[in-house]
Amino acid sequence: MPRQEKDVSLQLSALVVGSVMVATGGVAYAHHSFTVFDIQHPLELQGTVQEFKFTSPHSFIVLEVKAPDGTTMIWNLEGASPSTLVRDGWSNRSLKSGDEIKLSIDPLRSGAPGGAWIGQRVNFRDGRPVVCCVTDGF
């Protein structure tokens, strides 16, 4: 292959790789944005765990919350990755369907029944922490 064709082929390859990086870079950045959560106005929720999803990239708690009028609403709550939770003492068996919990969340800005939870702010209804005796890693 003549040198000029090699240079054009190399430039074309660089252009394709660069375009792919630009096109997918926003997706990765958007995935890690937490601007959808209102961290200035945390909510305290109490309810019954319907499901605990200990999955990557984020864990989820599906929580049934009873309103004062007796109606129930399902809240979808996003948590940290399993690898982060494990460092804090969590496992895929930390919560099970039927567990009654109290937790503090950062609600969705949209007002939809959802939000973000942090492992250290989750307790069973009787006040016991879901995970006990978390160390700071030192």
pLDDT tens, position by position, 78-122: 999 999 999 999 999 999 999 999 999 999 999 999 999 999 899
Tell whether omega for the bond before 57 is within 30 degrees of 0, i.e. cis.
yes
Reading the block at residue 1, the tokens are 């292959």
User: What is the longest distance spanned by two Cα atoms in the chain?
Assistant: 79
Residue 3 is predicted with a pLDDT of 60
Q: What is the pLDDT of residue 95?
A: 98
Q: What is the DSSP letter of 74?
A: E
For the chain, percent of residues with pLDDT exceeding 90: 67
Length of the chain: 138
Residue 80: Cβ within 10 Å count:
18
The token duo for 50 is 């319907």
User: Options 3.20.20.240, 3.30.160.160, 2.40.50.140, 3.40.50.300; which CATH number does 43-124 get?
Assistant: 2.40.50.140
pLDDT value for 109:
96
Structure confidence at residue 132 (pLDDT): 78
**Residue 138: both structure tokens together:** 């030192």
Q: Supply the mean pLDDT for the chain.
A: 82
- The H-assigned helical ranges of the chain are 3-31, 82-87
pLDDT tens digits for range 18-68: 444 434 444 444 455 668 999 999 999 999 999 999 999 999 999 999 988
